[in-house]
Amino acid sequence: MKTVDTNSEWAVDASGLVKTFGENRAVDGVNLRVKAGTIYGVLGPNGAGKTTTIRMLATLLKADAGSARIFGYDIAKDPQIVRQLIGVTGQYASVDESLSATENLIIFSRLLGLSRKEARVKAEELLEEFGLTEAAKRPLKHFSGGMRRRLDLAASLIARPPLIFLDEPTTGLDPRTRNQMWDTIRKLVKSGSTVLLTTQYLQEADELADRVAVIDRGRVVAEGTVDELKQSVGSSSLHVSIQNADQIGAAKELVERILNVQAAVSAEGRKITVPLADADAVSDLLLALRKEGIQSAELSIQKPTLDEVFLTITGKGAKKEVES
């Protein structure tokens, strides 16, 4: 394999990517910039256009409009070079189920031009790295979902690509296996790889990603570090529980007047929730509640979760816990 210069600051630099399927603009002008050596999360619900975006970047699907460079190489003009620079998971399905994990990895390595000996060493290394050594001799058909996913990732790393696309690497995995996968992904980046992963899990983006693009209906609706996204939703929220349910109406009015915002009251009628822009106002509120003789049972301030960020940005999927 000839060496390709990967000294570009940007592992991915895409602008205005579009893909239409019939009437459906699956990807509707996506811009993405992924710094080399980082983990980048593309976060979005089912059908948002994540896989289609990855398939275009990986040269598996032609973009209708827009352009992208992978380590400076244009996906349309230099697809051959781009393919040498990337690994894509999710293509392992075609391998022989009756062969063992070792045998499968050796076949892949041989296909990539490694010698018999190199292929064996590589397979062993990867199985060790992915905690699959014990299962290595078992035929694939006896593998659990998590083991398959790890073997899939292992196979995509045989060529040590500098950029790895992981399309929903942990969807459907149990929490323990998910944690193992996260460790593996962190290790990859420590060893110098760049990872672009898609996920539906806000926690996953929170755990792994240096930066995140939130994608909804084919468009990037927010971009930044996880902290920036949380801040963009602005406020934390304040929750006040009232001891005497009869006073909830008066308490709500008071909260709204002092904090100058709309308050929501929980279904069981004891808890008031409001966005909190200014934490200093909490002491004013406490004083006012006491003055009015309203006993609060509990008071807490919550920082926004990534879930709330997502809901605020996309305005979708919110389970109404509170009603106005």
Ligand X SMILES: Nc1ncnc2c1ncn2[C@@H]1O[C@H](COP(=O)(O)OP(=O)(O)O)[C@@H](O)[C@H]1O
* Contacting residues toward ligand X, per CB under 6 A: 21, 24, 26, 44, 46-52
| Cα(105)–Cα(117) distance, integer angstroms | 13
Residue 234 contact partner, candidates ligand X, Mg ion, none, CB within 5 to 8 A by sort of partner: none
Task: Determine contact, residues 206/306, Cβ cutoff 8 Å.
Answer: yes
- Total residues contacting Mg ion by CB under 5 A comes to 2
User: Nearer Cβ to ligand X, position 46 or 94?
Assistant: 46
For residue 49, the partner it binds in Mg ion, ligand X, none, with Cβ less than 5 to 8 A by kind, is ligand X
Q: Which residue is nearest to Mg ion (CB)?
A: 51
Question: Bridge-partner residues for 29, per DSSP?
Answer: none
Of residues 21 through 50, those in contact with Mg ion by CB under 5 A are 50
CB 217 within 8 A of CB 317: no
Least distance to ligand X from the beta carbon of 253, Å?
Answer: 44
47 interface partner picked from ligand X, Mg ion, none, CB below 5 to 8 A per type: ligand X
Q: What are phi and psi of 56, to 5 degrees?
A: -70, -45
Nearer to Mg ion by Cβ, of 44 and 161: the residue is 44
Distance in Å, CB of 24 to ligand X, minimum: 5
Cβ-Cβ contacts under 8 Å for 291 (sequence gap 6 or more): none
Binding residues among 286-305 for Mg ion as defined by CB under 5 A: none
**Shortest distance (Å) from residue 178 CB to ligand X:** 19
Torsion over CA: 24, 29, 35, 40 (sign): negative
- To the nearest whole angstrom, how small is the minimum distance from the Cβ of residue 52 to Mg ion? 8
Q: How far is the CB of 216 from ligand X (least distance, A)?
A: 9
DSSP percent split of the chain into helix, strand, coil, nearest 5? 40, 30, 35
Question: Interface with Mg ion includes 51 (CB under 5 A)?
Answer: yes
Instruction: Return the number of the residue (51 or 184) whose C-beta is nearest Mg ion.
Output: 51
The answer to whether 3 and 194 have CB atoms below 8 angstroms apart is: no
Least distance in angstroms from the C-beta of 168 to ligand X = 7
Nearer CB in complex with ligand X: 50/178:
50
Per the CB < 8 A criterion, the answer to whether 201 and 226 are in contact is no
Residue 192 binding: pick among ligand X, Mg ion, none (C-beta 5-8 Å cut-off by kind): none
DSSP-H helix ranges across 72-219: 79-85, 101-111, 116-129, 145-156, 175-190, 202-208
Q: At what angle do helices 145-156 and 101-111 cross, to 10 degrees?
A: 20
Residue among 180 and 200 whose Cβ is closer to ligand X: 200
Interaction site with Mg ion (CB under 5 A): 50-51
